[in-house]
A and B are shown apart, each in its own frame.
Chain A
Amino acid sequence: MSLSVNDLSFTYNSGLPTEAKALQNISFSAEKGEILSIVGHTGSGKSTLAMHLNGLLIPQSGEVVIDGIKTDSDPKNLRKIRQSVGLVFQYPEQQIFAETVSDEISFGPFNWGLRGDALEKRVLDAMELIGLDASFASANPFQLSGGEKRRVAIASVLASEPSYLVLDEPTAGLDLSGVCELTCLLKSMCEKEICVIHITHDLELALNISDRILIISEGTLTANGTPSEISDMLSEINVKGLILPDILSLSYELKKTYGTEAITSDPHMLAEQIKAVKITCR
């Protein structure tokens, strides 16, 4: 059981003067229990791709298959897919509408048909997963802090108990502790065999937390590999719109000129390499 995208292409406003090719022949798959990061610059098509993963957009050519179900306009299929693929948008706190945290979180499962005790349990489970104390259940979500609001929004997606969790820039606007908490949450999702698809423009973060990384540039898939494979690959090619972390780019230069063994994004390791090289130079 997996999520697979096969030869997906999508163009906005096809045929009109405002036509824009968003995705071209994208193919990849994602397995349960892994963190897959999709990295790309603004306008690379990553948000368009995210919307294909839960059927908000239907492929114009190619297909998206989730646990054997193809995304198409059939409402029954879409319903199944949307329970299975939870999509957390960027700044998800903007979707909050309910009077209490519990009402907000129960929106999803309620729409999927849960009622009564089963519904309540889902809400409390989701709150526990995200680290929100049960006492928040009757609070007014609009009066919570920014960080708490975001947790409520993410909990409302987790409440559907999805097998795949797609998050579009989940760390946007968060401070260090927020980023750490979110990273922990993603790792714990993995341990529960949930597939996490993390969409971001922060290459450094992706390199730190992912099992696999996809790089998208101008609608096409430029790379697909483990963080170390990607690090190695980026030393050879230049991806449009992607800013390399400082340490990594200096590491590449060092390797090219002095043939240092390992490419690294760790400043301590790089400092050691530079010291070694300098000594050789002298």
Chain B
Amino acid sequence: MSLIKGVTLGQYMPADSFFHKLDPRCKLLVTVLSMILIFMSGNFPAMAIWAFFIIFIAKKSQIPAKALMRSAKPILVLIIFTSLLHIFFTGGNNIIFSIGPLKASAEGTVTAFRMGLRLYLLVLFTALLTFTTSPSELSDGLEAAFGPFTRFGFPAHEVAMMMTIALRFIPTLFEETERIINAQVSRGADFVSGGLIKRAKAYIPVLIPLFVLVFKRADTLASAMEARCYRGGKGRVRMYPLTWGSAENRALMGFFVFCTVVICLNRWG
């Protein structure tokens, strides 16, 4: 009855590496730029270079290969689905095989492979980010990145705090949901048989207790935070303040060089 054990949620793996110690703002910037570039990557040589880049960072950050591979599991279904769409619905004249009215084209297969690879590389890159950056660093980085927008009324600190708390409670909520499901199954609740509507209704005895629990917790948590002198972002200091130094500059320089190589490969590869 175990819910989602075994699928890594891009969990933070602490280690003493260059990339772990980098300022999260730098890592966020690199990740966002990489995502854009990966998506613009047209040809396979470029994508091969990305793959090497990812493997290089993973090795240097002491991330085990298995964990990295497993991080793409959640979107495997999506990749397969979009691949099938490309294979069968991209127009083209080179038909490889057909199943009834569906025709699989060579162009479609190539596109599918390219798209699939892009998505895979994208997810792996974001996994690199979450493996080497603790949730708190991530939200600090985001808070700092959106800092300039607070003068326009954007609640950067509040959003960052909400993210931190949400991430903190994900494992707890999974456990509690599992417990409630077990309690209702023990009383004869049935989540597997019957039509879609019947099965959806069967979840009401799980969702209601969960919501009640969550709202009560929100109340107590707010009191506990206030009791620990929380009063919003005003005057708040961080134990490990973000510092942008030579390491970050070097990392960015290296990254820009890499990007140039990739863009060239794309143009002329």
User: What chain B residues lie within 8 Å of A86 (beta carbons)?
Assistant: 186
User: What chain A residues lie within 8 Å of B187 (beta carbons)?
Assistant: 82, 95, 107-108, 111, 156-157, 160
Nearest A-chain residue to B204, judged by Cβ: A97
Nearest A-chain residue to B187, judged by Cβ: A108
A57 at interface (Cβ–Cβ under 8 A)?
A: yes
User: What chain B residues lie within 8 Å of A94 (beta carbons)?
Assistant: 176, 179-180, 183, 209, 213
* Contact-residue bracket for chain B: 20 to 34
Contact of B212 with A142 in the complex, beta carbons under 8 Å:
yes
Given A51-B182, A92-B183, A111-B187, A97-B1 contact (CB < 8 Å): no
A89 at interface (Cβ–Cβ under 8 A)?
A: yes
Contact of A111 with B189 in the complex, beta carbons under 8 Å:
yes
User: What chain B residues lie within 8 Å of A157 (beta carbons)?
Assistant: 186-187
A186 CA to B137 CA in the complex, in Å? 51
A118 CA to B250 CA in the complex, in Å? 77
B159 at interface (Cβ–Cβ under 8 A)?
A: no
Q: B6 contacts which of A13, A56, A83, A87 (Cβ < 8 Å)?
A: A13
A281 at interface (Cβ–Cβ under 8 A)?
A: no
A108 CA to B185 CA in the complex, in Å? 9
User: What chain B residues lie within 8 Å of A108 (beta carbons)?
Assistant: 187-188
Bits for A62-106, please: 1 = Cβ < 8 Å to B, else 0. Answer: 000000000000000001001100110100101111100000000
B205 at interface (Cβ–Cβ under 8 A)?
A: yes
Q: B179 contacts which of A13, A79, A89, A107 (Cβ < 8 Å)?
A: A89
A28 CA to B180 CA in the complex, in Å? 28
A208 at interface (Cβ–Cβ under 8 A)?
A: no
Nearest A-chain residue to B6, judged by Cβ: A16
B5 at interface (Cβ–Cβ under 8 A)?
A: yes
User: What chain A residues lie within 8 Å of B206 (beta carbons)?
Assistant: 97
Contact of B182 with A111 in the complex, beta carbons under 8 Å:
no
Those of A31-60 within 8 Å (CB) of chain B: 51, 54, 56-57
Bits for A140-167, please: 1 = Cβ < 8 Å to B, else 0. Answer: 0010000000000000110010000000
Those of A220-279 within 8 Å (CB) of chain B: none
User: What chain B residues lie within 8 Å of A83 (beta carbons)?
Assistant: 188
User: What chain A residues lie within 8 Å of B2 (beta carbons)?
Assistant: 12
Closest 6 CB pairs of A and B: A111-B188, A95-B183, A97-B208, A108-B187, A97-B205, A87-B186
A contact set with B: CB distance below 8 Å: 12-13, 16, 18, 51, 54, 56-57, 79, 82-83, 86-87, 89, 92, 94-98, 107-108, 110-112, 142, 156-157, 160
Q: Given A13-B5, A79-B188, A94-B176, list of 9 further CB < 8 A pairs?
A: A12-B2, A51-B182, A56-B186, A89-B182, A96-B209, A98-B205, A107-B188, A142-B212, A160-B188
